[in-house]
Structure 1
Amino acid sequence: MMATFFGEVLSVYSRAVEEEEEEELDENDEDEEIRRELEEKREVHLHWSSEATTSGNKLPCSDFVLAVGQNAACFLSAYVLSSDTWEAVGRASAWNERSQAAAGEESACVFYRRKDDPSVLICSVTSYLAEDQLFQWTEKVFDRLQLRQLSVTVLSDGALADYKTADYLCGSSAPFLRSLRTGAFGERPVCPALEQPNILTGLPAAVLNHCQVHRIPAVSYQCYSDVIAPDSVTMETYKPALTRLSRSIQLDPSPSTDILRKSVRSSDLQSNLYI
């Protein structure tokens, strides 16, 4: 607004103000487009084989075992998946700042199914999932599973340095297991519960939280170890965790040295301090 010498009040058009508003709108549109492109790039993708999808949208599943981390994945590879009773039926891929080339991530999250019992499903995860991808992964995977009579077991790696305890001698007993379970899990875990203030993080926490919300029986076993690389002693620590699944998952009590070496060698170890 502007006042004249005669007392009139006139409205004044300011092109500068309009140009600023247009620039702000353009910037907002560009920011929104960048966010949308980033969200699409970071989307979690599930890929199932034709054999796994013939029975419809939902996969029959009574027991779902999820292994997260190098030692947990190598344990399943050497002690369970080395037999010819298992077949790969799917994989998950996700890009993020810590992941390697997209093509290299395809084998870092694989789903296996027993040939003679399709209701037993195993997933081995060695790739990194960012915080904004954890909920996505969990929702998409469980959305494909039949939840009726489903039971979930999670095996995960934990660094001994992250384990908080008043007993300074605790490290001498490493590696060791600690458990967390949902309210619907009625059985007794095979190891002590995870003591406060220790918490689960990452994908194991996301899966256990999902199961708690949806009242799915689930138990998580975290193995605390003082080694970074896959290690045969650490792998053996997971054995008791699958005791209750002995009818559906048979463990090889003593895998050959060749199988152990192959499992360790095939694992994509990421021990770089800068990753």
Structure 2
Amino acid sequence: MESAAYFGDVVRQISRAVDDEEDDVEFNESTLPVLRWCPSIRKQIEDGNRLTCSVLVVAVGAEAVGFCQAYLLPEDPEILGVFSTGMTNLDKNSFSQKADLDKTCYIHRIASSPEVLVVLCKSTVAPEQSFTWTEQLFENIKTENLYVTVLSSSLVTEYRSSRLVSELPTPFLRALRSTAYKAKPQSPFLESPNMVSGLPAAILNHCQIQSIAAVLYVSFVDSPHVDVDSMKVFQPVLSATPVKHLVQPGPEASDRLKKFVEVHLNTINLYT
């Protein structure tokens, strides 16, 4: 695998099952990720039939989520399931993924391409939850002939280079891939000694072990606040295998990016 040594550590934890109809679940600091499916998908899985999936896109962080909402998803995508990740009784959560503090990740299906799943994680999944999160997702989908694309972002101050950080043209994109992914990524590979950790690392590590074709793109940005440029940096991914085979975005994509930034800024003011 290209640069496989830089995945970081993934901590294994034990999962627990929670029924969709449990309305009074007590959340605490030790709560593990809980995956809930919509009734039809839950029945399908309970009958022993995993989801058919040829393309899985996982967006981690506001920049990646905004990009996917603007370029890959329709206005009202079908929601198949949701991850709840470690909510406590003190957490403020809009349960709509509009707030930066929302500890929820929604699994969407593209109606025009039913074998394409897009998972949006606007908030960061804790490193200690990443292994369980990844296991729960992949155990419910068929992985034969599956292509996985992971999008994530990191502050440029965390990027290690012989050049001064101030000299780097931000934002910029770097890539890692599993051995099974044979196509050339649409950006340079992430250089040593840079590292990828948390959920993106857990997903790529899982794909490497299970011989699943996967590519991870990391954008390095200079601000913790999302803007249009920090989302557009992922545009080369639209030409990458297998995303390039999806329906290409319409002219309204730029307007959707601007709307995402507006909502993002409003929720920062609301939840701070």
Class of the TM-score when normalised by the shorter of the 2 chains: 0.7 to 0.9
Cα distance in structure 1, aligned partners of 2:115 and 2:194: 33
Q: Who is 2:193 aligned against?
A: 197
Partner of 1:118, secondary structure, is strand
Is the CA contact (8 Å cut-off) linking 2:28 and 2:87 kept in structure 1?
A: no
**TM-score, normalization by structure 2:** 0.76
Match of residue 76, structure 1, among 68, 72, 84? 68
Q: 1:198 to 1:270 in 2, by over 3 A?
A: farther
Q: How much does 1:118 deviate?
A: 1.5
Q: Which stretches in structure 1 are left out of the alignment for 5+ residues?
A: 1-36
CA offsets 1:139-167 (integer angstroms, 9 cap, x no match): 00011110111110000011000001002
Counterpart check, 1:95 vs 2:86: yes
Q: Who is 1:59 aligned against?
A: 51
Is the CA contact (8 Å cut-off) linking 2:156 and 2:165 kept in structure 1?
A: no
Partner of 1:120, secondary structure, is strand
Cα distance in structure 2, aligned partners of 1:109 and 1:206: 16
Letter in 1 for 2:56: F
Q: 1:255 to 1:135 in 2, by over 3 A?
A: same
The structure 1 segments of at least 4 consecutive aligned residues displaced by more than 6 Å after TM superposition are: 37-40, 268-272
Q: How much does 1:130 deviate?
A: 2.1
Is the CA contact (8 Å cut-off) linking 2:61 and 2:122 kept in structure 1?
A: yes
Match of residue 209, structure 2, among 176, 200, 213? 213
Q: How much does 1:246 deviate?
A: 2.1
Cα distance in structure 2, aligned partners of 1:209 and 1:49: 28
Is the CA contact (8 Å cut-off) linking 1:204 and 1:220 kept in structure 2?
A: yes
CA offsets 1:35-74 (integer angstroms, 9 cap, x no match): xx99995121111112434544411100000000011111
Is the CA contact (8 Å cut-off) linking 1:52 and 1:89 kept in structure 2?
A: yes
Q: Who is 2:115 aligned against?
A: 119
Q: Who is 2:224 aligned against?
A: 228
Is the CA contact (8 Å cut-off) linking 1:92 and 1:106 kept in structure 2?
A: no
Q: 1:93 to 1:249 in 2, by over 3 A?
A: farther
Cα distance in structure 2, aligned partners of 1:205 and 1:53: 27
- Structure with higher Rg: it is 1
Counting matched residue pairs gives 234
Give the fraction of aligned pairs with identical amino acids, expressed as a percent: 34
Cα distance in structure 1, aligned partners of 2:122 and 2:246: 24
Q: 1:268 to 1:41 in 2, by over 3 A?
A: farther
Cα distance in structure 2, aligned partners of 1:213 and 1:167: 34
Q: Who is 2:133 aligned against?
A: 137
Cα distance in structure 2, aligned partners of 1:229 and 1:262: 14
Counterpart check, 1:246 vs 2:248: no
Cα distance in structure 1, aligned partners of 2:59 and 2:247: 14
Is the CA contact (8 Å cut-off) linking 2:204 and 2:214 kept in structure 1?
A: yes
**TM-score, normalization by structure 1:** 0.76
Q: 1:231 to 1:38 in 2, by over 3 A?
A: closer
